[in-house]
Structure formats: C-alpha cells, structure tokens
Amino acid sequence: MSPEVESNPEPIDLLIDARWVIPVNPAGLVLKHHSLAVRDGRILAVLPAAEAHAAYVAAERVALPRHALIPGLVNLHTHASMALMRGLADDMALMQWLQDRIWPAETRHVSPQFVYDGTLLACAEMLGGGITCFNEMYFYPGDAARAALDMGMRAALGLIVIDFPSAYAADADDYVAKGLALRDVLREHPLLSFCMAPHAPYTVSDRTFSRLVTLAEELDLPVHMHVHETQNEIGQSMAQHGVRPLERLRRLGLVGPNLIAVHAIHLTQEEIALLVQNGSSVAHCPSSNLKFANGFAPVARMLAEGVNIGLGTDGSASNNRLDLFQEMRQAALLAKAVSGDASALPAHRALGMATLDGARALRLDHAIGSIEPGKFADLTAVEFTAPDMLPCYDPISHIVYAAGRENVSHVWVAGRLLLENRVLKTPPKNDLENLAILWQNRLSMETKA
C-alpha cells in the first residue's frame, strides 16, 4: 500500500497520522502507527508513519495518537428529514404508526422547507456520529440534496415513487418525471449519486414497477425499497397478488443486482437463495425492526449464503437515532442470539457492513467504503481515551462493542474536514435548535391525535 520513497518529499494536501488505521479491505487488518496521504480529496497512500514523513510534505498534518481511523460510515437506509418527527409517534405497530400518525402529519406539513430543514438536522447528527454517506428515501429529494451539500456530506438520493398523490407529486408518472429531471441536473456532482426508490410493494403498482425496471436498467441505478418488513405486508400481497412480495418483484424483473431490499426480515430459505442468485443487497435496520416488533432478520443465514448486507438506521421517526455505532453493535448481538452462534457476525464483519458493504450496495465501492489508494478520503476518527474505551486489546472489537458515536472526534468527506474534535466545521446557516423548535410547534398538534 506504500509507494517507493523518493529523496525529495512529494507535496500533498493532507497527512493524517493515526495510532491505528483500519482499512476494512482486507477484512480484519489493523495497521499500527500508519499515515494516510491525501491529495485532491483522494487517498494517495497508506504507509508507516516514518516512511510517510520522509516521502511527503503536507500542507496540513493531523496527529491522531490515540485514535483509530476507519472509513466513513455508510447509512444504507434513512428518511433524513423525518428527524423533525423524532418522537412524534412511538410504541405502536408499523401500519398504525403510518396510517394514524405519520401519513397524516406528512400530508399537512411536508414541504421543500421541511425537507431542507430536517435534512440539515439529520446531517449534523450523522456527521457527529461518523456517517459520511447516506442513502435517502423521501419526498423533495432536491431539497435533501441541497441540505446535504450545504453540510458537505455524500448522499445517494432516492428518486421516490409511490402510487398515490402527495404535495410533491400528483401520481406515479409525476414522481418519476421529477426524479429524472433532478438526476439530469445533479448527476455530475461528485458527492451525489442516485437510486430509484419505489416505496414498497404495497404502495406501488405492477405498471409502475414495470416502468422502473426499464429505467433502472437503462440508467444503471440501484432500486432501493422496503421489502418483507412485516408479516402483514406478506399477507396483503398473498391476498391481492397470490404470491409473496419478493416473488411478485421477481416476476416483474426487479430482483437483480440493482435491488437494495430494505429490512428483509421475513425471508424463507428459498428467498435468501433468490437474493444470492441475483446478486441483490439487503439494508439491515436492526433498531427499527426491534422498535416496531417486526421480527428478526435472518442475518446469519443471509451472510452464510453470501448476501451482501449493509446497515441502515431508518428514519428518526421510527428509530429515534441516526447512529450506526448502535446499529453495528445491535446487528452483531442479534445475529448471535438469533442463530445461537456467537461467531455468526464477528466485529470485523459488522464494521464491513457499516462501510464497504453499504458502499457496494450503492455501487460506490470503487470510490468509498474502505481506506485504499485511489478512493475518496471519506474518513472517521474514533478516539480511545475515555475510561469506557480502556484498555484496548483489539481496536476493531472496541469500535463495534465498546465505542459509541460520542467517541467520534474527526470526520472528513473527500478530504474536507467536517468535524474536528467533535465540533462541526460546516454548521448550517440557520440555528438548528430554533429550526427544530419551529417545526415542533407546527407538528405538536399531531401528538394530540
């Protein structure tokens, strides 16, 4: 991973010295007392610190003597602007939550400003917890993009499609048209990528799915949707279509390497095999699954069969935290308990799910997800000085089982420092607390419903 050391030091933009560098690829590797050389937003080299100091002269140097440097975390599924609905409706089943509280609130309040403000709030939370890229699914994706870029974050924008009207679009064709127009405008931005985002099998028709299959293939876009989240969803599909949702999607041509199946809790062995055979990915959201009492995804079985699984938080209205450290730990512990195998999901695999595997699902693993020369310098530093982080025998184990987002000290996206010593470097122009209070006052009527 290191270049030939030259007699004349090479100028670079940034040199980061760390106690440990955890590249994620290869899995389980820990590099002690190594440095990262960064130029033009990309990783130039990873090499022992002494060699780095001889080989490079940096415009900026950052010393992380008691830290682990990991790839920036990839949140494979969220509804960012629903940060403004955090705690609005808790302790109820998914369909009651949607039909009685969330959908009515969205009908009354969701707007471009709601999405922009809520996404600002979410980005501040995610950056503070080491998340550098998020896969978004919500209305007004252009306003989510504007907020993400104002915060300096990387975003995969879901081009949302639902077969019922909203303030954002009149019908499925209107959703598609607006999404494609947005992609045409923003497709060259280096921090943005795109997914087709049909909401779920129970909110999208066969006609609309058939059109999305063609578009996803033509544009080579991932298809990001909720699949097999509840038993009710499966029963409804059996009654309406005569088959389970995943089989319906297969018949329509949606099960393939483009598919990111969100939740994927209720899967048979045959359905797991179907995902493997077609190269599909899963976005595992353990905290949201638990909070809705939707069940336990068969993660250990999926991993054993070869399904690519990334981690998502879901939205703040259903999880209450956009915290991938929590999701890593939750995923590892649940996989062990459900499978009865303590080795089912080891720490290095959980870290991979939160980084490279999520990037792979988004077709971004060539650019992010691991610390390798040529990739963007999307990086997170975790500090190991707090009492609850001591002693440390294995830094990867600590990151998954001991660390929390409060231990994140620094975050870079494409070599740009966005969090320094736990302080955001790109605070939004608006005051986030006042924004949150403003929307709380507007939404407070929903809590009385």
- Tens place of pLDDT for every residue, the chain, 449 residues? 544 445 689 999 999 999 999 999 999 999 999 999 999 999 999 999 999 999 999 999 999 999 999 999 999 999 999 999 999 889 998 889 888 888 888 888 899 999 999 999 999 999 999 999 999 999 999 999 999 999 999 999 999 999 999 999 999 999 999 999 999 999 999 999 999 999 999 999 999 999 999 999 999 999 999 999 999 999 999 999 999 999 999 999 999 999 999 999 999 999 999 999 999 999 999 999 999 999 999 999 999 999 999 999 999 999 999 999 999 999 999 999 999 999 999 999 999 999 999 999 999 999 999 999 999 999 999 999 999 999 999 999 999 999 999 999 999 999 999 999 999 998 776 689 889 999 999 888 655 54
Residue 76, exposed/middle/buried by CB under 10 A (0-12, 13-18, 19+)?
buried
The CATH class given to the 10-71+367-424 domain equals mainly beta
- Written as six digits, the tokens of 365 are 């693993």
In the chain, ranges of CATH 3.20.20.140 domains: 73-361
Q: Where in the chain is the domain with CATH 2.30.40.10?
A: 10-71+367-424
Per-residue pLDDT, 305: 98
Which of 3.20.20.140, 1.20.1090.10, 3.40.47.10, 3.20.20.10 would CATH assign to domain 73-361?
A: 3.20.20.140
DSSP codes joined into one string, 66-117? EEEEEEPEEEEEE-GGGGGGTTSS-SS-HHHIIIIIIHHHHHHH--HHHHHH
Task: Output the pTM of the full model.
Answer: 0.96
Buried b vs exposed e over 407-433: b needs ≥16 C-beta within 10 Å? bbbbbbbbbbbbbeeeebebebeeebe
Task: For residue 137, give both structure tokens.
Answer: 């699914």
The pLDDT value given to residue 449 = 47
CA angle 190, 193, 197 (to 5 degrees): 165
Q: What share of the chain is helix, strand, coil (3-state, %, to 5)?
A: 40, 25, 35
